[in-house]
Amino acid sequence: MLNFSKSVPIQRNKLIYTLDGLRVSTFSANFHFGVKYSFKLFTFKHLEKVFRWLGFEVVAHRNKTAAEMKNLLKDVGKTVDGDCFVCCILSHGLKEGVYGTDGAVISVDEIREPFNGNNCQRLVGKPKMFFIQACRGKRNQDHVLVQADSSEDGESEMEVDGDDFDITIPADTDFLIARSATDGHLSYRRPEEGSWFIQSLCRNLEQHCPL
């Protein structure tokens, strides 16, 4: 049984989440339409281990067509409970989105839309995170040298004129979408361990999430 809790305001323009009921859905695929995605069981097991350690209920879906992924995501959006939702997708991809096993494509908008405030009232004001391991093109990314700059923290205040107005939040609020490649570029995996992106995600969650 998953419990609910409300987001708690602590300061003006600042918000924290209290997370009692958590769920993660993972999608992975071995492809049937020409090129095979050499999905590494180690990658999935690492994801599963880390999110279970963080207190999530983990539900896995494998080898789904684009239409099946769309339908599954819509079903999850209608039934999901809890205070946080995470979706991890490991697949081939291109600029327009992520491949299903049939070669059809599901866009990122189609992935997140079932969980916006209009379609998923249960997750309004709650974090929704999407981690997508997939190429977004065929180019290698360029390399540049960088120098660290120090920045000063600052806060901005927003004032609203008028006494009679409705307090609302955007339907697409509280989303985090992290992708393994920038637009037009390739995504990489180690032959033995799988996705660099997913392995780095798991390591950082293990190292930096206090329990």
Q: Going from the N-terminus, what domains does the chain have, and what CATH number goes with each?
A: 14-23+36-139+170-204 (3.40.50.1460)
pLDDT of residue 150: 45
Q: Which active-site residues does the annotation give? A: 92, 135
Distance set, CA 172 to CA 120, 124, 167 (Å): 11, 9, 15
Distance set, CA 152 to CA 36, 57, 139, 149, 155 (Å): 47, 39, 35, 10, 10
d(CA 127, CA 84): 5
pLDDT of residue 164: 52
Element (H, E) at 42: helix 41-53
Reported as half-sphere exposure (CB side, CA atoms, 13 A), residue 42 has a value of 10
Average pLDDT over residues 131-150: 74
pLDDT of residue 63: 86
pLDDT per position as a tens digit, 14-35: 345 455 556 666 666 554 444 4
- Share the mean pLDDT of the chain: 75
pLDDT of residue 109: 93
Burial letters 122-153, b for 16+ CB under 10 A, else e: bbbebbbebbbbbbbbeeeeeeeeeeeeeeee
Answer whether 22's CB lies under 8 Å from 81's CB.
Answer: no
pLDDT of residue 167: 64
Asked if residue 70 has pLDDT above 90, the reply is yes
d(CA 55, CA 24): 10
Distance set, CA 199 to CA 27, 56, 131, 138, 168 (Å): 16, 18, 12, 22, 38
Sequence-ordered list of residues with C-beta below 8 angstroms from that of 59, at least 6 positions apart, any chain: 23, 24, 25, 26
CA nearest neighbour of 123 among 89, 88, 87, 85:
85
pLDDT of residue 108: 93
Confidence of residue 38 (pLDDT cuts 50, 70, 90): low
Which of helix, strand or coil describes residue 13? Answer: coil
Residue 18: how many other CB atoms lie within 10 Å = 13
pLDDT per position as a tens digit, 146-196: 554 444 554 444 444 444 556 666 777 788 888 888 788 888 777 777 788
Residue 28: how many other CB atoms lie within 10 Å = 22
This model's pTM is above 0.75: no
d(CA 106, CA 10): 38
Asked if residue 13 has pLDDT above 70, the reply is no
pLDDT of residue 137: 87
